[in-house]
Amino acid sequence: MNKLFVITIITVIIAVCLIFIIKKIFYLNYCDRVLKFGANLACGLNESTNSFIKSARNIKLINNTLEAELKTKNGNWKYNKIKLHDLLLDKDLENDNGIFKYRINSKEEDDRISSKMFPMYTGKTIPSVSISECVMLSIDIPKYNNEREKTLQILNNYKLPPIHIHFGYTNKTSRLSKYYDFLLNKKQRNELTLGMLEIFENFVKKSKAQNEWLLYFEDDVRPINVNNDLTKLYNIPYDAELIRPYIGKNEYCNIKNISYNISYNGGLNHAFYISVSGCIKVLNYTKKYGWKYICDIDLYRIAKYSSMNPTGLDGWSLHSVNGNNDITEKLEENEKINMYHMSNCIFNQTSNPCV
């Protein structure tokens, strides 16, 4: 009798535990579905046609900020955080191997949205600025020596400020840079970052005023779509500190007639114009916060108008910052760079063409 009683008690306990576990699982699944539905509804998405909802968990939507863990192809979960932009609320939001990505269906649609995200500057301008110098980042090894010589021969066809070569680092020598200790991820490709920061520091030291300008480029740069005088910029925004010359239309232009658009996010650093004040802000950012991402990614996240929403310059996702632009929001306003891009693309490169 005692043995039967004990078995009965154990059976009852197991049954109660199983019921509790089943209820818990059901409740959690129900809550997860409710959260997914709420986020889905706010985004204007339909669960049956979007992979994001089907492969996400821990979804939160607070003050137009969407957070979730998305499942990757190898079964891991990756944390994502984005701002929902008004221009994208009716666009499909997908899970692209663990990263939120908007599906834009045509180039025309991409151009239309981008023109509103990066509006043309219409404020006060500076009639002209002279470029103090050009600095080319290269590496003193045979592969890059050959490429650099080809580039210099092509640049001889253009009127440019004095060109100086800054020899940077390979993966094996990068730890020799004074900026190596400011890298937050030393396992990624950092050679370009270190060389760029050293160029900025040298330019600041030799310049006499905050509004002097540097033309920075890599050793495979190619001028395109422009007349041969590249010694000045014209009618630039009054507060400009960095100008990107590789985003606009792939059409011939007169540099005097170029217009400028507000710019932020994206990548590519094969050529850009930067002022002394812009260089100082980049260097101060590096020393205060550390450089987090590969190559030039941080540079375009410290732009004044950068935000946590993906743009066309990012391929409509935040892949370059691993799903979460955690740089912009921590900056003070006076730490951000006033960044613009030209209406026409005037610099390309051979290794990673932008047009």
CATH number for position 188: 3.90.550
Q: Is there a domain that residue 256 lies in?
A: yes
Q: Are residues 210 and 293 in the same domain?
A: yes
In a domain, 186, yes or no: yes
> In this structure, are 250 and 138 located in the same domain?
yes
Domain membership flag for residue 329:
no
Task: Indicate the number of domains in the chain.
Answer: 2
* Domain end position, chosen among 35, 68, 103: 103
CA distances from 50 to 55, 74, 83, 105, 245 (A): 9, 19, 18, 14, 36
Specify whether 140 is located in the same domain as 193: yes
Task: Name the residue among 121, 136, 246 with its Cα closest to residue 199.
Answer: 136
Q: Which residues contact 322 (CB under 8 A, 6 or more apart)?
A: 78, 99
Q: Is 282 a domain residue?
A: yes
* In a shared domain, residues 91 and 222: no
Q: Domain for residue 151, yes or no?
A: yes
Could you tell me if 149 and 88 lie in one domain?
A: no
- The conformation of residue 226, written as its DSSP 8-state character, comes to B
Nearest alpha-carbon partner for 262 in 126, 128, 114:
114
Question: Based on the domain organization, do 278 and 130 belong to the same domain?
Answer: yes
Can you give the C-alpha Rg of the chain in angstroms?
26
Buried b (16+ CB within 10 A) or exposed e, 312-331: bbbbbbbbbbbbbbebbeeb
Residue 112 lies in a domain: no
Predicted TM-score (pTM) of this structure: 0.84
| pLDDT by residue, tens only, the chain of 355 residues | 566 665 667 776 776 567 666 655 544 444 444 444 444 444 444 564 466 888 999 988 888 889 999 999 999 999 999 998 899 888 889 999 999 999 999 999 999 999 999 999 999 999 999 999 999 999 999 988 999 999 999 999 999 999 999 999 999 999 999 999 999 999 888 999 999 999 999 999 999 888 899 999 999 999 999 988 999 999 999 999 999 999 989 999 999 999 999 999 987 778 999 999 999 999 999 999 999 998 889 999 999 999 889 999 889 999 889 999 889 889 999 999 999 999 999 999 887 666 7
Both 96 and 134 in one domain: the answer is no
Q: Domain for residue 325, yes or no?
A: no
Q: Are strands 163-167 and 271-275 parallel, antiparallel or unpaired?
A: unpaired
Strand ranges for the chain from DSSP E: 56-62, 65-71, 77-83, 92-95, 100-103, 125-138, 163-167, 213-218, 221-223, 232-237, 242-244, 260-262, 271-275, 339-342, 347-349
Instruction: Let me know whether 176 and 74 are in one domain.
Output: no
Among 49, 91, 47, 36, which residue's Cα sits nearest to residue 317? 91
Q: Do residues 200 and 341 share a domain? A: yes
Domain boundary among 49, 72, 103: 103
Given this model, what pLDDT does residue 152 score? 96
Task: Supply the range of the domain harboring residue 69.
Answer: 2-103
Residue 122: closest CA among 260, 243, 303: 260
Confidence (pLDDT) at 34: 43
Same domain, 289 and 142: yes
Shared domain check, 236 and 185: yes
* Residue at a domain's end among 70, 103, 136: 103
- Determine, yes or no, domain membership for 311: no
- Whether residues 134 and 67 share a domain: the answer is no
